[in-house]
Structure 1
Amino acid sequence: MVSRIRANHTERESAMSRRTFFQGTGLLLGFAMTGARTEPVFAARASQVTENEVTGTFAPNGFIRINPTGVVTLIIPMIEMGQGVYTSLSMLLAEELEVKLDRIQVQHAPPNDALYVNSIIGIQNTGGSASVRAFWTPLRQAGAVGRGLLIAAAAKRWNVDPATCRAKDGVVFDAPGSKQLSYGELANAAAKLTVPPAAKVKLKDPNEFTLIGTPAKRLDSAIKVDGRALYGIDARPPGMRVAAVAIAPVLGGKSKALDEKAALAVKGVRQVVNIDEAVAVLADHMGAAKKGLEAAAIAWDDGPNGKISSADIVKQLEEESKNPGAVARKVGDVGKAIAEAAQRVDAIYQVPFLAHAAMEPMNCTVHLQKDRCDIWVGTQAPTITQAQVAELTRLPMDAIKIHNHLIGGGFGRRLEADGTILAVKIAKHVDGPVKVIWSREEDIQHDMYRPYYLDRLSAGLDAAGKPVAWMHRIAGSSVMARYYPPYFKDGLDPDAIEAAAEPPYALPNVHVDFVRVEPPGVRTSWWRGVGPTHNVFVVESFIDELAHAAKQDPVAYRKGLLGHNPRALAVLSLAAEKAEWGAPLPARHGRGISVQFAYGSYTSQVAEVEVAANGSVKVKRIVCAIDCGMFVNPDTIEAQIQGGTLFGLTAALHGSITFKDGRVEQSNFDSYLPMRIDEVPVVDTHLVKNAEAPGGVGEAATAIVSAAVTNAIFAATGKRLRSLPVDTNSLKSSS
């Protein structure tokens, strides 16, 4: 089954208002999913819910609470940053619990890896397109158990067999339908019943779903529209000062002089804090803080990285990529197969550093006291943040209170705690709460960037043009080695090789390896898709090169290599069909295609572009087919495919962070360009519905779009682009 959605031109945003975390009485359900264990464990009790009860000997990672008014509260660890996860996860619960979606309230979970671990990632973390995948079964089981307990409570009151009762829209009915009790009326009684073993919980057959798979409206739209939604930057604890911050422009540098007197002379400025690597000016409001920071006239000592340039970084990659790396995959004898091949194709690909440039700049509010530290922030990784703050302050973990907020664009940037650590360092010198806000320039120039990668590829083709050998070497930074050291094994970064070690195609002889190269003076981190965002560009561009060398149509060529992979073949065929592949186009127009398997989903995109005589590129249309298994909310998928496509397209057309004299050369949206509205293409999304387990969606389109676009540019101009962003000068017409 295929459903078609035509996307709008702006990505939908989402938020949930923050409510009191522990309150109310009634039925409390929790489930555990730690490590390899995915079977929920449940407890039910009627009591005033306290933090001690929730975090005691029973250690679930999520909770459902039903109060006497019948309102269902779902406390989950996945943070909302525009991806609609609160609505999707609430749908899983509502489906099995038999309540209307608008009866569910969602609250942020506190930091606790033991309770709220994401089983796919291994910690409490929102990322990796893992939210629905991780909680697909546990949340439905939690709902089914809750429904069963409520029905049992009603049956006991009526003295009837529970099997004769049914639940619908938060109400339990007897067999004739003459008696009914609401969930709110039953909550306390249900909490006293014995919880059935999880193994006996019967989930709905997908054919019985009434909510999952339907386009549900976002639960958080209203508070986004009327302004009730609170982001980290909105935090205002009593007595708070606002701080503007300047960070050393070169990594490893520090301040060597500043005019504190001039800063303090600015009306509204209250304090200047110098912590060497940064200077903060505290004031009654942001305007005064910024003026005071400018008046401070800071002079910097650049330190050891003051001469680093992009050319130095690329040269290092070029040299080190000539050496063998850690082997990610080895099948057959690539050297022999290439030597005996009828034709050999070689290529070097490069992708640049990329900044996140989220609409909400980095910010954090801290109140550091003798025995506790309160932090108001939007973070994708609350437990990592808590642990790093505990290490810095030497306070116990439970004294670090993370008040998590909605995030105005995460894209992986809020997986890092550096902004919080900087704010805590400043707060050490402040009496009372302080909100530290980075300017747009500080946000872009002190980001933790998507790594710069350089890839070397070689392939051998037989007389018919079919690949008989595939060699791919990836050289670049390892984010995993720094962020998740246990996952970096035998020199391999699993993220850096994703979508490269296991391309979807049938290749008889394969060698893929990884060379870790850490650039000097640059911090690298997660960036919406990370490894696949470069690997899919490289693999799909190179497959296109092989099709051209074989003098075959790119779609037909791929189909010939996907006979063993029906799901990949299906999305390829669907995208090509819906994009009218092969239909005539005007001169200097072209279509390009790409295919990927990443984040547990199969995706294919076709881009249609127009390249003007002056080399400028206009992406006219993007057609996307995605098989993400059983999907929850097609409306959310539409938004994610569109938003991810535009995020990836922005990077493909414009994105590049460069260095000169140790400094980032880009500073704001005039030099690190976002897509303008007149550049935005039509995005058509087609969903393949099947009975497979859910896959991830949030990063799929970001990873795949660049190859589709550059392959389309080749079709339009005959010029192959092996680096990003698109070099429009190379595309100018010579006629």
Structure 2
Amino acid sequence: MIKNLHSRRGFLKGTALATGGILLSLQLPDAGRTRAALAASGPSPFVPNAFVKIDDQGVTLIMPHTEVGQGIYTSSAMMMAEELELDLDQVKVEAAPPDMSKYMDPNLYDQATGGSMSTRSDWMRLRQAAAAARIMMVSAAAARWKVDPSTLKVERGIIRNPAASQQLTYAEIAPDAATQPVPKDIKLKAPSQFRLIGTRAKRVDTAAKVNGSVLYGIDIRQPGMKIATLALAPVKGGKVASMDEAACRATPGVLDIVKSGDDAVAVIGEHMWAAKQGLEALALTWDNGVNGKVTLDTIVAKMDEASKTQGVVIRNDKNAQAAIDKAATKLSAVYQSPFLSHSPLEPLNCTLHIRADGAELWVGTQVPVRAQKAVADATGLAPEKVVVHNQLMGGAFGRRLDIDSIEIAAKLLKDIRYPVKMVWTREQDMTHDYYRPYYYDRVAAGLDASGKLVGRTHRVTGSSIYARWAAAAFKNGIDPDAVDGAAETPYDEDAVFTDYVRQEPDGMNTSWWRGVGPTHNVFVIESFVDEMAAASKQDPLEFRRKMLSRNPRALAVLNLAAEKAGWGQKLAAGHGRGISLQFAFGSYLAHILEIEVGKDNMIRLLRSVIAVDCGITINPDTVLAQMQGGMIFGLSAAMFNRITLTDGAVDQTNFDTYRVMRINEVPKIEVYQIHNNEAPGGVGEAATAAAAGALANAIFAATGNRIRSLPLADALGA
């Protein structure tokens, strides 16, 4: 199935609705039916399932991925408008309904948005769908006018016959086009023909965000709707010990108390304040259970022990350990990367209206099919009886790839028959997150007498997200994300050994976080490369250049960043520059960060220079925004963030204890893009992964202190 999704012919076999519009689909059982037969049969038995819809309201992109702030609604609309010969303002965007057979991301095993995959997965299929629609409409116009389709011109959704001064809009010809066969061979535009792709475009969602008309999940209002908030066991596996229901029900505005199992209680109120006050009056106490003595220290101690054992081998080339044993210079180190919270600005929430015969869910989710199934499973309804209204999200960073908040809400509200918006407080959101895993890395390397790398080993120890989230991708004990960037690096390497030890932490749920595996592996690799350069008394830039003879694209971004950052120019006392280089998410990126470390050990971030090659660029402004936002997100985490536990409960409860970088702390960020016609890479997470390594290396350059444990401010004692 995955191969078929990448096949142009396999993708475009399908059907179109004949009710005044066109709808392209993936290959379906009735693909052999002619379009004329479908038109004669009236409304098709096929549900709307594809990417292009054209009717008297105009052109709509049925968007297979969700908008999480990354600008995908704009760049995907640009791809579609390009092949449909439209301008961007002529394309509306509509979130696709849950339907795995039509909207599955072939790289994510799900109808999901994540992994910086949206553009990479949609680059061909959206353009093919749009081009096929255009060909069908031109063919329909040609049939009506009895002319050769090649003689017709299309501009801004108007088909013209220059020889007879005839013209038709897409909306006018759409009913005829619905009877045309889906073209078997689609000729897409060459890059030299692009009008929109590669140009700067204003985001299609900006105006609504500025004027306040946009609706996020937390903004939903429904007639008769009530508000609920919840309390979850502070320790995983804990359960309610006692509560004062009478005091809660006596709170003004409280309507009901609902429970799910022994570990979740919610209060429904006329408004959020009533629900929150009622929850406080409930005076919950908890039995913390088996995880009541878990601390961060106990988790790390187990990881340390696990990391001393042989893991599942990921890469074993040319006996790296033997090469290290014979090397003139030997290095080894342990690096640690902490648990991290997502903590998006919009805390978790969803609105549910459950009825006996069906349900509606309003939520911002990265996984609409899983969201639908969560409600269906909790209520006993068939999935098709659950309507999902996917909303824009006020941040996610991977948190909304999990549906625990929807599952909990559906279980709590399954017997409630009026609409209820379930809102997590910031404290519940932060203390019951699905955290970025803690990683414990053992690395070693050997250099010959000339300072050349002759062998490298890397053992990654940490939780497996894939084993829980996408078991089909967790094969032979290997989590591909946990080792992403560890086994394969941009550098010339011949003798490499990499293995993975799965170690699940007590009392913690782990999940995707913006960048996940590369956010820790790039930090480890790039820090350790700097250690190699220092051990061989080589300049960090020159050391890297010597190892890039086989990777011209990586060398190009490194050289560009170095040039723009002024590498080699003398710095003031207390200043330092650090480098990070990576190939991750399908893109090449080099980052050079300049900092100042004061006498009080306070770190001041001065200048961040990013050079990125993400292949063909849809919207340069999107790349710029994602580089800036991703870098701030990554630097903020590297500087300040970690999740710790005491007696099984998370210590950090809000942004006073889980620090976010302030505006005055953000460095000047410069982004330089290399444009080419290579396949597009991802940009949503790339800059986040490039932050920590450059920062750690800059600290070493400024102070001589080597940082091997995050966050960096804690390591410095600042």
What letter corresponds to residue 383 of structure 1 in structure 2?
V
Moved more, 270-279 or 655-664: 270-279
Which of the residues 658, 661, 669 maps onto 1:672? 658
Hey, what's the Cα distance between the residues in 1 that align with 2:288 and 2:661? 33
Shift of 1:231: 1.3
Aligned to 1:206: 191
Aligned to 2:649: 663
Q: Cα gap change, 1:416/1:51 in structure 2, threshold over 3 Å: closer, same or farther?
A: farther
What letter corresponds to residue 219 of structure 1 in structure 2?
V
Matched, 1:580 2:566: yes
What letter corresponds to residue 724 of structure 1 in structure 2?
L
In the TM superposition, what are the counterparts of 1:430-449 in structure 2 within 5 Å?
430-449=416-435
Q: Cα gap change, 1:68/1:315 in structure 2, threshold over 3 Å: closer, same or farther?
A: closer
Q: Cα gap change, 1:69/1:281 in structure 2, threshold over 3 Å: closer, same or farther?
A: same
Hey, what's the Cα distance between the residues in 1 that align with 2:586 and 2:9? 20
Hey, what's the Cα distance between the residues in 1 that align with 2:166 and 2:229? 62
Which of the residues 394, 417, 427 maps onto 1:408? 394
Q: Cα gap change, 1:52/1:629 in structure 2, threshold over 3 Å: closer, same or farther?
A: closer
In the TM superposition, what are the counterparts of 1:609-688 in structure 2 within 5 Å?
609-688=595-674
Matched, 1:89 2:63: no
- Percent of pairs identical after alignment? 50
Shift of 1:530: 0.5
Q: 1:308, 1:662 within 8 Å by CA — same for their partners in 2?
A: yes
Aligned to 1:39: 11
Q: Secondary structure at the match of 1:346?
A: strand
Q: Secondary structure at the match of 1:356?
A: coil
In the TM superposition, what are the counterparts of 1:493-572 in structure 2 within 5 Å?
493-572=479-558
Q: Secondary structure at the match of 2:691?
A: helix
What letter corresponds to residue 245 of structure 1 in structure 2?
L
Q: 2:24, 2:49 within 8 Å by CA — same for their partners in 1?
A: no
Moved more, 481-490 or 538-547: 481-490
Shift of 1:691: 1.5
Q: 1:113, 1:124 within 8 Å by CA — same for their partners in 2?
A: yes
Q: Cα gap change, 1:517/1:345 in structure 2, threshold over 3 Å: closer, same or farther?
A: same
Moved more, 276-285 or 42-51: 42-51
Q: Cα gap change, 1:179/1:35 in structure 2, threshold over 3 Å: closer, same or farther?
A: closer
Moved more, 160-169 or 463-472: 160-169
Q: Cα gap change, 1:68/1:436 in structure 2, threshold over 3 Å: closer, same or farther?
A: closer
Residue deviations 1:413-439 (CA, integer Å, cap 9, x gap): 000010001101110242322211110
What letter corresponds to residue 384 of structure 1 in structure 2?
R
Q: Secondary structure at the match of 1:546?
A: helix
What letter corresponds to residue 235 of structure 2 in structure 1?
V
Q: 2:51, 2:64 within 8 Å by CA — same for their partners in 1?
A: no
Aligned to 2:256: 271
Q: Cα gap change, 1:470/1:65 in structure 2, threshold over 3 Å: closer, same or farther?
A: closer
Which of the residues 288, 296, 321 maps onto 1:302? 288
Aligned to 2:176: 189
What letter corresponds to residue 79 of structure 1 in structure 2?
T
Which of the residues 305, 311, 321 maps onto 1:325? 311
Aligned length: 700
Which of the residues 207, 225, 235 maps onto 1:240? 225
Q: Secondary structure at the match of 1:421?
A: helix
Q: Cα gap change, 1:461/1:687 in structure 2, threshold over 3 Å: closer, same or farther?
A: same
Q: 1:616, 1:728 within 8 Å by CA — same for their partners in 2?
A: no
Shift of 1:35: 9.6
What letter corresponds to residue 171 of structure 2 in structure 1?
G
Shift of 1:55: 11
Q: Cα gap change, 1:664/1:728 in structure 2, threshold over 3 Å: closer, same or farther?
A: closer
Q: Secondary structure at the match of 1:472?
A: strand
Q: 2:11, 2:25 within 8 Å by CA — same for their partners in 1?
A: no
Q: Cα gap change, 1:273/1:410 in structure 2, threshold over 3 Å: closer, same or farther?
A: same
Hey, what's the Cα distance between the residues in 1 that align with 2:581 and 2:200? 26
Q: Cα gap change, 1:317/1:208 in structure 2, threshold over 3 Å: closer, same or farther?
A: same
Q: Cα gap change, 1:213/1:598 in structure 2, threshold over 3 Å: closer, same or farther?
A: same
Q: Secondary structure at the match of 1:552?
A: coil
Which of the residues 371, 379, 403 maps onto 2:365? 379
Hey, what's the Cα distance between the residues in 2 that align with 1:586 and 1:51? 62
Q: Cα gap change, 1:51/1:69 in structure 2, threshold over 3 Å: closer, same or farther?
A: closer
What letter corresponds to residue 491 of structure 1 in structure 2?
G
Shift of 1:58: 5.4
Shift of 1:366: 1.6
Q: Cα gap change, 1:502/1:62 in structure 2, threshold over 3 Å: closer, same or farther?
A: farther
Shift of 1:728: 5.1
Hey, what's the Cα distance between the residues in 1 that align with 2:446 and 2:576? 27
Hey, what's the Cα distance between the residues in 2 that align with 1:368 and 1:330? 54
Q: Secondary structure at the match of 2:316?
A: strand
Q: 2:49, 2:99 within 8 Å by CA — same for their partners in 1?
A: no
Q: Cα gap change, 1:273/1:37 in structure 2, threshold over 3 Å: closer, same or farther?
A: farther
Hey, what's the Cα distance between the residues in 2 that align with 1:414 and 1:271? 27
Aligned to 2:144: 157
Aligned to 2:579: 593
Q: 2:640, 2:658 within 8 Å by CA — same for their partners in 1?
A: yes
Matched, 1:166 2:153: yes
Shift of 1:70: 6.1
RMSD across aligned positions (CA): 2.2
Residue deviations 1:447-484 (CA, integer Å, cap 9, x gap): 00000000001101100111111010000100111111
Hey, what's the Cα distance between the residues in 1 that align with 2:28 and 2:187? 28
Q: Cα gap change, 1:272/1:441 in structure 2, threshold over 3 Å: closer, same or farther?
A: same
Hey, what's the Cα distance between the residues in 2 that align with 1:666 and 1:159? 71
What letter corresponds to residue 190 of structure 2 in structure 1?
D
Structure 2: give runs of 5+ residues left out of the alignment: 32-46
What letter corresponds to residue 700 of structure 1 in structure 2?
A
Residue deviations 1:339-396 (CA, integer Å, cap 9, x gap): 1100101110000000001011011112222232322111101112223333333322
Shift of 1:683: 1.1
Q: 1:614, 1:731 within 8 Å by CA — same for their partners in 2?
A: no
Moved more, 380-389 or 445-454: 380-389
Residue deviations 1:57-85 (CA, integer Å, cap 9, x gap): 45999534554546101112200110010
TM-score (normalised: structure 2): 0.94
Q: Secondary structure at the match of 2:340?
A: coil
Q: 1:33, 1:117 within 8 Å by CA — same for their partners in 2?
A: no
Shift of 1:648: 0.6
Higher relative contact order (CA 8 A, sep 6+): 1
Which of the residues 258, 261, 281 maps onto 2:246? 261
Shift of 1:727: 3.2
Matched, 1:366 2:338: no
Shift of 1:45: 4.2
Hey, what's the Cα distance between the residues in 1 that align with 2:148 and 2:417? 63
What letter corresponds to residue 98 of structure 1 in structure 2?
E
Q: 2:643, 2:650 within 8 Å by CA — same for their partners in 1?
A: yes
What letter corresponds to residue 216 of structure 1 in structure 2?
A
Which of the residues 439, 457, 460 maps onto 1:453? 439
Q: 2:226, 2:270 within 8 Å by CA — same for their partners in 1?
A: yes
Q: Secondary structure at the match of 2:50?
A: strand
Q: Cα gap change, 1:729/1:451 in structure 2, threshold over 3 Å: closer, same or farther?
A: closer
Q: Secondary structure at the match of 1:196?
A: coil
Shift of 1:37: 8.3
Q: Cα gap change, 1:284/1:196 in structure 2, threshold over 3 Å: closer, same or farther?
A: same
Hey, what's the Cα distance between the residues in 2 that align with 1:460 and 1:239? 68
Shift of 1:202: 1.0
Matched, 1:391 2:377: yes
Q: Secondary structure at the match of 1:534?
A: helix
